[in-house]
Chains A and B, each alone.
Chain A
């Protein structure tokens, strides 16, 4: 009865992968590209077969191959699935760029070509497939990373090669390149600067609340309440007093401190970054095993030495987790601040909303998302690096 490897494992259908392929096949139905006569007009949705029959055939073949693989069991099927999925992603990207250019060449210059539902759902289905393949494969980490990142890498390569230039968003971008760079810089200065200041204020407050029972309650009470307040409301509540201040003391206006704009935004952003940082600093210190400090004292270490050599390295990863949360949160909050005149990528979003120009909206929204994801990934790596070896994983 007993065998070296239970046969069931390899032959069971991979339900996640199969789900992905079904979604992928269904994604061939809705429109892949939308042709709009101008950047604000409604568009005509073009189906895949209206664009290129060959593409339909190609995708059907690829998805069917994935479906078959997903249902039957073969050795190393996950690798094959992963390779096929990445192939689908790459082909989808290449096709989209190619078809968009072809379309664009046949219409007026102000017309816009945007990716449609079919395109997006195909990419999503391929992601599901890549995920399933990555989960189940037993190959080396090298292969796993290749599976995960090939699609994304190709996307960026194509992007920089100008492959996607005919697509609506890129067209919009090309009309706004300088401004984009300006707002991006502004955005990063706003959220980066605020979180840095928030950290400088938050860490001492966190230390204080951890050491003093009496300080703990009021600090957390205020931090918790401010965190709950909606960002737009907090901006609003700050504008009135700041306006009054800048009217009363015109000298402030010389420094750029006014009722609207960057000032209330920065103040609010600092306030919002306080809770995660205070909370995590508090937890990091409270979680320290008192026995460890006791041992340090027993060894003859001074309080400062204990702080530097024991408390800081052990607490650092958890505090940095708090900084990560504050940073990711601030990317979004800064975007909202564009509404009160602070600038940043949010300006594109709100301008696009005002003009009913979807491409402008996307030009703002997508980079905001990418920025948040990048900041998140970067900080997670930092946290991982600072985690002392020998400490179990898991932070606040």
Chain B
């Protein structure tokens, strides 16, 4: 769908992009990654002609982009940048409506689309449509930036470090959301990042660049298991096995776990599970509130007295998490299993260390 052929960009005496050729299929997420100055952002900006190539051609759907008027080209491509660039003098709704209005959509259609997009990125339209950028948090602004890029339903989306400007926790949530949205809308996405973990998590294929050249273009699994040269090998780092775990969602690894109500008497703990040492404690709504160690159980009394209270966000993972996060949580807390909760903090099940070990073993051989 997008084809770059021998694209080169030269500034004065610097060669920013050197004979770069790439093909991105329809509906594919291609992540451009590389060290600082490798030319990834320059390449991205040549696709929508914010920068003109010195030589080489770029084809979108078989059409040569240099033959299309730049404004027209860009109206049909979504563009999201790191600093988001929301217009401060326009409301959220007006921001999102920018491209549709440039395309002369009628007002009703625009309004419907704005509501649709806000829901897509997980924000309540009634609450957010009238807000102004200065009232938004970093994560909200980033999501609206994505909504704005998707407004006119372009087939292609270009993103330049779209999740870079927020804290790690928000970034993780935004990435999860991106995966979810992409499953729904199936755009052709070219995303630039310097964060390898992000690339591994989001990409269908990764294009690694160095000094303006394409070094390897493969699926994340292949790059991790068969780096093509020393540069890629060093770039992905020595924890390749761990990185691979971030490609695997925990959904298939969630086990049923035993739990007991916080108001229950102690003897129910025995009943909940006689072979386990630790049992999760939930409240009446089913939400995780803590755990109990059977070996330190007092005689009689209630669970409430013996419970070790925890904050769910410190020990639990969401159902959208990856094996890597689960493992990371386990190691951090010193447990061998980690509880899985839904978005209302209700206990769903757990993932155990043993299961992760067998998953790692599988991926080693693949």
Contact = CB atoms under 8 A, between A and B. Distances in A.
Interface of A: 1-4, 6
B12 interface: yes
A168 to B, nearest CB: 55
Contact of B54 (A1, A3, A4, A6): A1
Contacts of B15: 2
Q: Which 10 A-B pairs have the closest CB atoms?
A: A2-B13, A1-B10, A2-B10, A6-B12, A1-B54, A2-B12, A4-B13, A2-B15, A3-B13, A2-B14
Contacts, number: 11
A190 B15 CA distance: 64
Contacts of A2: 10, 12-15
Nearest to B11: A2
A6 B55 CA distance: 17
A68 to B, nearest CB: 29
Listed residue (A1, A4, A6) with the most chain B CB atoms within 10 angstroms of its CB:
A1
Contacts of B55: 1
A1 B54 CA distance: 9
Interface in B35-64: 54-55
Nearest to A6: B12
Main secondary structure of the interface of B (DSSP, over half): strand
Interface in B1-46: 10, 12-15
Interface of B: 10, 12-15, 54-55
Given A1-B10, A3-B13, 8 more contacts: A1-B54, A1-B55, A2-B10, A2-B12, A2-B13, A2-B14, A2-B15, A4-B13
A2 B55 CA distance: 13
B149 to A, nearest CB: 34
A7 to B, nearest CB: 12
Contacts of A6: 12
A4 to B, nearest CB: 7
A3 to B, nearest CB: 7
11 contacts: A1-B10, A1-B54, A1-B55, A2-B10, A2-B12, A2-B13, A2-B14, A2-B15, A3-B13, A4-B13, A6-B12
A64 B54 CA distance: 38
Contacts of A4: 13
Contacts of A1: 10, 54-55
A89 to B, nearest CB: 37
Nearest to A2: B13
Nearest to B14: A2
A120 B192 CA distance: 58
Contacts of B54: 1
A4 B15 CA distance: 13
B75 to A, nearest CB: 31
Nearest to A5: B12
B51 to A, nearest CB: 16
A63 B216 CA distance: 61
Contacts of B10: 1-2
Nearest to B55: A1
A211 B55 CA distance: 62
Nearest to A3: B13
A302 B55 CA distance: 67
B271 to A, nearest CB: 61
B308 to A, nearest CB: 42
A1 B14 CA distance: 10
Which interface residue of B13, B54, B55 has the most chain A CB atoms within 10 A?
A: B13
